[in-house]
Structure 1
Amino acid sequence: MDVFPSTGPHLHIVLNHFPLIGSVFVLGLLIASAYMKNDDMRRVSLILFVVLGLLAIPTYITGAAAGWAYQGRPDMSAQILDAHRDAALLAFTFIGLTGVASWLVLWRERRYARTSNAGFIAVLVLGFVSLLTIIETGSLGGTVIRPELREGAMAEPMGLTAGIETAIQSIIWAWPSMEAVHFVGMAVLFGVVLLVGLRVLGVARSVPYSAVHRLLPLGALALLVNIVTGMFFFIADSGRYVAMDGFPPKIMWLMVGGLAIIYFTIFDDIWDVKSDEDAPARAKVMAALTMFSWAAVLIFGRLLPYYGEGG
């Protein structure tokens, strides 16, 4: 099938607009919400930052696929590609941190019913840093796709991505250690998803939803651990991963599962479920979707080693 190798450059050109335009829009919305003292607008801003953080994953992955498509071309400088790759990793890191911070603020405010000024400031600062790194990444990306900009372009790679790749491939215990951490993270994440989802579907009805809600940060931490270790795997062997038929569906279901978690974090209809009460139909549909999506991530992830060198 080779989804990423054949369509990576085109998908990347589409996806990379979301972090840039989205960050500008959401930062403006967040600042406006503070000026207008509008809590709903502020909440929407934080949700959108979480969505942007999730969208950064396929954006980065399709960027790697695009890099492999351009690599080796006589009119392409390896130095420019490496510099763009390093800048993209920094941008991915900061927009991901912004998404994590935004989710934590949303969870804390919903859990304790009070706003967090420190959290707001942290999200604002991370959002600005993310925007700066995205602009730099986009500038370097422009020199990749536009030949007229390459002439005389000064791009010095930091060696960040290459350093991570070399370290993982040269340290004998690096890969198995990350595999162990990745498996534990997935087990914790899927366990939290099952506990929350089954409660919503009617199992253990004597437990109010607010009681299982406190497990969500544990699941979010496990997701963060898996994203970090997963990206290390990807950086160390990106050429093989982008050629695997099972890799695109894993990423697609990961996006669905990540977006579904937002519903269980903040929406009032699920929060209103008390002891011995049945959850609304919409909540049950979301619970089933969340469990199915993370089961799909788990299955496709375990199948990846069997794809060998790719589809």
Structure 2
Amino acid sequence: MNSPILALESYWLAQAMKYSTWLYPTVETVHIWGVGMLFGSVVLMDLRVLGLVKALDYSALSRLGIAVSLLGFSLAVLTGSMLFITHAGDLIASRLFILKMCLIFLLITNAVLLRMRVVINATTKAQAVISLVGWASVIGLGRWLAYV
């Protein structure tokens, strides 16, 4: 079927993730930290765009938020890749996983387009709402994947 994908499961790191008592839970914990950093900073920036956190300066919040979200995203991608290779065959066949990955791609595109905007208007606010709902959905899909 997907032999290159399935071959990932025999990679030494995937085997270590499967059989080590502490490695998988440690990687999963760091993954959750990364997702938390990403989602937390996105929530603050999107709420500011929506005018719900007016006390925070937009440009300062944006600079800090982008730095934190990039760090969180990097951690999530690195650790998510490690989690993926452990169950690559099952995940690549999962519609939930494919939906989650597509949604992440669309949300990253939305974030880039949103941060390029200079003026906050109805379109920008709609993008912020899409971002909030989308990232919450990604988190939900990630949790569901553990149980289906």
What range is the shorter-chain TM-score in?
A: 0.7 to 0.9
- The answer for the alignment partner of 1:178 in structure 2 is 27
**SS, match of residue 246 in structure 1:** helix
- The answer for the alignment partner of 1:146 in structure 2 is none
- Whether the 8 Å contact between 1:260 and 1:286 is mirrored in structure 2 is yes
Residue number among 90, 100, 123 corresponding to 1:282 in the alignment: 123
Q: When the two structures are superposed, what TM-score results if normalisation uses the length of structure 1?
A: 0.44
1:235 aligns with 2:85: yes
Give 1:70 shift.
5.0
Q: How many residues align?
A: 145
Q: Which ranges in structure 1 are unaligned for 5 or more consecutive residues?
A: 1-68, 72-80, 87-160, 270-278
Q: 1:245, 1:281 → 2: CA distance?
A: 33
- RMSD after superposition: 2.0
- Whether the 8 Å contact between 2:31 and 2:79 is mirrored in structure 1 is yes
- Whether the 8 Å contact between 1:216 and 1:265 is mirrored in structure 2 is no
1:258-269, aligned counterparts within 5 Å? 258-269=108-119
Q: Deviations over 1:184-237 (max 9, x none)?
A: 111111111110001111112243320211221111110111011111111111
**SS, match of residue 147 in structure 2:** helix
Q: 1:70, 1:204 → 2: CA distance?
A: 47
- Larger CA Rg, structure 1 vs 2: 1
- The answer for the alignment partner of 1:224 in structure 2 is 74
Shift in alpha-carbon separation, 1:70–1:197, aligned structure 2, 3 A:
closer
- Whether the 8 Å contact between 2:48 and 2:58 is mirrored in structure 1 is yes
Q: 2:58, 2:113 → 1: CA distance?
A: 13
**SS, match of residue 53 in structure 2:** coil
Identity %: 28
- Whether the 8 Å contact between 1:197 and 1:288 is mirrored in structure 2 is yes
- Whether the 8 Å contact between 1:192 and 1:216 is mirrored in structure 2 is yes
**SS, match of residue 203 in structure 1:** coil
- The answer for the alignment partner of 1:299 in structure 2 is 140
Q: 1:241, 1:256 → 2: CA distance?
A: 19
- The answer for the alignment partner of 1:254 in structure 2 is 104
Residue number among 94, 118, 125 corresponding to 1:244 in the alignment: 94
Amino acid at match of 1:280: N
Runs in 1 of length 4+ with deviation above 4 angstroms? none
Give 1:245 shift.
3.1
- Larger relative contact order (CA 8 Å, sep ≥ 6): 2
